Amino acid sequence: MTEGVSGSAGRAPVTSGSSSNGFDYLIVGAGFAGSVLAERLANDGKRVLIVDRRPHIGGNAYDRYDDAGLLIHPYGPHIFHTNSREVFDYLSRFTAWRPYEHRVLASVDGQLLPIPINLDTVNRLYGLNLTSFQVEEFFASVAEKVDQVRTSEDVVVGKVGRDLYNKFFRGYTRKQWGLDPSELDASVTARVPTRTNRDDRYFADTYQAMPLHGYTRMFETMLAHPNIKVMLNTDYREIQEFIPYGHMIYTGPVDAFFDYEYGKLPYRSLEFVHETHAREVFQPTGTVNYPNDYGYTRISEFKYITGQEHRHTSVVYEYPRAEGDPYYPVPRPENQELYRKYAALADARTDVTFVGRLATYRYYNMDQVVAQALATHRKLTGQKTAPEPATVG
């Protein structure tokens, strides 16, 4: 999904509803949403122009080699996981995969402990020797009774109690969102499970893998269709009056498209600080969280994620910011109310389809964006069936 794409509500295409001597579709944003739709529509025989303000395709999932020859993710680590066979099979048309199960440790009380919280987390933190059955009783004994779960704080203290909440969640959430968990919707911390076994995988999805040659190579293959033209370093408003097209698919910020008519939708941003070190390993796992110390929330090491063998290693520090590219919609009721006003404007536009994270103001994982794009393609074309399964390479 393209970040920071601006828009205009009042401008119309030169040839609205027709693609004579032009394109059937103008797609704004060359991330997952835009690229999947471009590929699907081109495969239907449609002529597609996809534009992006950035100098590259792939949106935030874009990856590249740094000066040391290490494959890095400039916009932070992107770990692919899904329970959708349809999504996995579809993307398998454009990439082979390297199996990868992400693991995360949290720096708490001088120890690096598994997160999500599991049996080992509790035993090592408190010096106990509980079994899986006993840790269930432990959680029940420390959990606080919450009559109605409304906030992120309610979710966690209702499951694992106040001490684990303070050690693992409160500080991290306050850094990430600039708000206390008691001020945030329950959905924020509900994304992180609590386990009573020793499973230390960060995700439990059926399909967990990384594109074998990187995300950018996958996007290049996806967009390598003769019916697709790509324009980078381009604001679509600069070209839309001069290039005939039939229908627009917009994946940028919905509030920007309507010139912030009701005000800006709140987002949290991130600053990424990349470092390359002249040693093979920097830390013991792919990501280490720092919920209570330092200004950054986590450090990720790319070689774990990509599987690359190299005598050097590259890491990225993530610093949450109030300003910058929009990454995370802030989940508060008043923000959803503001989005509903923009959604009403979007719904009224028959000449534009809004799809993706920014256009629908939702915190989607990559696979969810792909699923939304595939569903949008079926809606646009009247198709009722999913793509034929592919052989995974």
Nearest CA-CA partner of 160 in 188, 209, 193: 193
pLDDT at 20: 56
pLDDT at 17: 45
DSSP state letters, 250-300:
E-S-HHHHTTTTT-PPPEEEEEEEEEEESSS-SSSSSEEE-SSSSS-SEEE
CA 365, CA 207: separation in Å to the nearest integer?
14
Burial annotation 86-111 (CB, 10 A radius, 16+ → b, else e) = bbbbbbbbbbebeebbbbbbbbbeee
CA 367, CA 83: separation in Å to the nearest integer?
9
pLDDT at 187: 85
Helices in the chain by DSSP H: which ranges? 32-43, 85-91, 119-126, 132-142, 152-164, 171-177, 187-190, 215-222, 236-239, 254-257, 302-306, 333-347, 357-360, 366-381
Per-domain residue ranges for the chain?
23-98+213-262+330-381, 104-190
pLDDT single digits (tens) 151-176: 999 999 999 999 999 999 999 999 99
Label the pairing between strands 207-211 and 97-99: antiparallel
pLDDT at 317: 98
Nearest CA-CA partner of 301 in 286, 317, 312: 286
CA 367, CA 364: separation in Å to the nearest integer?
8
Segments of the chain with pLDDT less than 50? 1-18, 390-393
Would you state the torsion angle of the CA atoms of residues 381, 385, 387, 389, taken in this order, to the nearest 10 degrees?
Answer: 180
pLDDT at 11: 39
Nearest CA-CA partner of 164 in 210, 225, 234, 116: 116
pLDDT at 190: 79
Which CATH superfamily groups domain 23-98+213-262+330-381? NAD(P)-binding Rossmann-like Domain (3.40.50.720)
CB 158 within 8 A of CB 143: yes
pLDDT at 188: 87
